[in-house]
Amino acid sequence: QFRFTPPTHAMLAFRQALDEHEAEGGVAGRGGRYAANFQVLKDGMKEMGFELLCPEDVQGTVISTFLFPDDANFDFQQFYTELAARGHVIYPGKLTKADCFRLGNIGRVFESDMHNLVSAIRDVLVKMDVSLPVKQIEV
């Protein structure tokens, strides 16, 4: 029982989320999809010269951080804007020691979405005339 008008829309959304989680196989099923998304992203970024910031023994499958390319043609704002125009929203890094960006591997995204993201990143870097494979900045 609620003291005031119950948030029925939130309750229905939560019920739907639980149903979808269960239909996907629970934590193991959802975690498997996240791991597959991460692998596509990691492999695709590696092909372009990017390495994960975190060592693999502590890297999770939820979000991945990559250092900026060490290339005078790389401009993060243009990179961000071009990817957003293609339907991909990335996150600026929040590190104090190095310029970086973060890519999410979770949510209602699948391996095909991660392939599309990697392809968009490659296209934007080529458009910016960033040399591939990239050399990343030093930390």
30-73: pLDDT as tens digits = 999 999 999 999 999 999 999 999 998 999 999 999 999 999 99
In sequence order, which ranges of 7-133 are alpha helices (DSSP H)?
Answer: 8-23, 26-47, 76-85, 111-127
Q: Per-residue pLDDT tens for 11-29?
A: 999 999 999 999 999 999 9
Q: What mean pLDDT do residues 71-79 have?
A: 97
Burial of 107 (0-12, 13-18, 19+ CB in 10 A): exposed
| pTM assigned to the model | 0.88
Burial of 113 (0-12, 13-18, 19+ CB in 10 A): middle
CA angle 102/23/36 to nearest 5° reads 35
